[in-house]
Amino acid sequence: MEIQKVQVEENSREIAENASGVAVATLVSRVLGLIRDTVIAAKFTSFQTDCFFMAFTIPNVLRRLLGEGALNAAVIPVYADYVTRKNENERRLFLRSLWGSSTGLLFLISFLGVIFSPLIVRLYAWGFTSIPEKFDLTTNLNRVMFPYLFFIGLTALSSGILNVHKKFFTPALSPAIWNIIIIASAFSLPFFLASYGINTIYALAIGVMSGGFIQLIYQFFLQLKTGTILPPKIDLKNEGFKKVIKLMLPLTAGFGIYQLDVLLSRLMASFLPSGSVSYLYYGMRLIDFPQGVLFLAIGTASLPLMAKLSAESDIKNLEKTYMGALSLSLFVSIPATIAFIIMAKPIVSIIFFHGAFTSSMLEPTWMALAAMSPGILGTSIVRVTTPVFYSFMDTKTPVKVSAWNLLIYLFASLVLMIPFKHIGLAIALSIAPITQSLQLIMHLTKKIRIDFKQLILFFLRCTFSSIAMAVFMLIVCSFGKWDNSKKFLFNIYIALLSGAGGISIYLVMCFLSGLKETKLILDIIKSRSLKKQKH
């Protein structure tokens, strides 16, 4: 029993340490992403950004679906099994087949996307057809950016392979390159394009493509060290490849249903007043910050470990590992949800209220952000629960849950959209992940034992600590001048004081209530500091 307890603690620490590495790297990328969005909001009009964000929707959705979504989730458990139980020759043959088939699939989809761009845009930006100038610009931008899918799909596949080899930090850092290229393009290309009479928004499309290509080259250099870059070969009969396809089919449906939420929100927003697409986009980008930095990091770090435990039929350790990952996720997501609701206006004011982003855009954007914030909690649970199903190579259950969730989202959107416009769509985006997380946990009880008493007590402790944090943040934020862009430095000071003080109060309250996650995080920070000092 003592040995098992030590093993569980080591698994929890491994997830936390790997997740912290991913989180740090992702934090750098997300900060650059916020800078990128700040530059976009300041330099381009809402008409231009509506077109750009809508044009980027399809290649970006397919990137999440085929690259970071279904393909990656299907490859990790299969490749982990090859690394654990197969010989070197079998592993190499599998990788060659994987590289060859993925390259062919991504190239074909990218080529078809460029050819049929007008039809694709018409289907998901139907509301734009009544404004020919908006529709044409969106179509042309979509055509320029569609090949981005090819580059980013292979990059995501490379990241999955590296994760199995316990390399998390550097792959997670690669999106930073993409953000830097787009920022550079936004500053350097508009003047050049304008001199030739070309709409300056194309600077962003060029940045997307260039960044995708450079990101892929960077990732390939990382893989040379692991020996996983092999000559591609299309071998549809390879046993491992067939397993990946078998897992991918339901995964694609599941991720596809999830991405339909995004497509449907953009489609419905295209019928709303001008600027609605941008308001929702900026809100979703800010919500993506904690989700990408923290919860995706925990899910990314836990999947290879849980896949290994599942392959070894070590269900007891898998149960404990999942509970550790879920607790760590809730420890972060509960205060993050409350903090984003309280600081929605300060965040939007500081990040976007510059240049072309006018005061009339401030309220609709921060209200969208506040309405989306409860979804942070649901998404955090989904991100750490779904990998458990994948570790069992069960891809059908998440698909069924996603299908029901899509219906719930669609119903909520249609009901709320008419009276509340884009805010209604934002509320629906919160409802969807919450209902999805509850359904997943109920289905998971059929596979592993979940200690609900422990989970509820943990939830209440985190919530109580978050309330203390919220009181402090509300008082401090009341001193901010959020409607006045000239008070930028003063507002930053107030926001930092509110955020830093709130986090400190939360951690102290958690520590006093006996939550071991506080000590675990402090230990990891201490150990990483010592490693840096040694180097």
Convert the pLDDT of each residue in 66-100 to its tens digit. Answer: 655 566 677 777 887 888 788 888 888 888 988 88
Report whether 416 contacts 428 (CB < 8 A).
yes
Return the percentage of the chain with pLDDT > 90, whole number. 31
Q: What is the spatial distance between Cα 57 and Cα 156, in angstroms, rounded to a whole number?
A: 18
Give the mean model confidence (pLDDT) for residues 383-398: 79
| pTM tops 0.75 | no
Strands (E), 50-142: none
Which of 337 and 305 is assigned the larger pLDDT?
337
- Are the C-beta atoms of residues 341 and 374 closer than 8 Å to each other? yes
Tell whether the model's pLDDT for residue 64 goes beyond 90.
no
Residue 256 pLDDT class (50, 70, 90 cuts): low
- Angle CA 492–498–500, to nearest 5: 95
Q: Are 501 and 471 in contact (CB under 8 A)?
A: no
**In this predicted structure, what is the pLDDT of residue 434?**
92
pLDDT at 352 over 80: yes
The two most distant CA atoms of the chain are separated, in Å, by 73
Confidence (pLDDT) at 1:
46
- Please tell me the predicted confidence (pLDDT) of residue 275: 85
Residue 110 pLDDT greater than 70, yes or no = yes
Helix axes 148-164, 46-62, angle to 10 degrees: 50
pLDDT at 4 over 70: no
- Calculate the alpha carbon distances from 198 to 132, 194, 203, 259 in Å: 17, 5, 10, 32
Give the model confidence (pLDDT) of 417-469 as tens digits: 888 989 999 999 899 889 999 999 999 888 888 888 888 988 999 999 999 99
Q: At what angle do helices 516-534 and 488-512 cross, to 10 degrees?
A: 120
Q: CA-CA distance, 121 to 109, in Å (whole number)?
A: 15
Taking a C-beta distance cutoff of 8 angstroms, is the pair 162, 22 a contact? no
pLDDT confidence bin for 228, thresholds 50/70/90: confident
Percent of the chain with pLDDT over 70: 83
- Give residue 235's Cα distance to chain centre: 32
How do the domains of the chain map onto residue ranges?
44-248
Mean pLDDT confidence for 490-515:
90
Predicted confidence band of residue 338 (pLDDT cuts 50, 70, 90): very high
Average pLDDT over the chain reads 82
Q: Which residues of 326-362 are buried (b: 16+ CB within 10 A; e: fewer)?
A: bbbbbbbbbbbbbbbbbbbbbbbbbbbbbeebeeebb
CB proximity list for 32: less than 8 A, separation 6 or greater: 176, 179, 180, 183
C-alpha to C-alpha distances, 500 to 338, 469, 473, 477, 511, nearest whole angstrom:
14, 10, 9, 12, 17
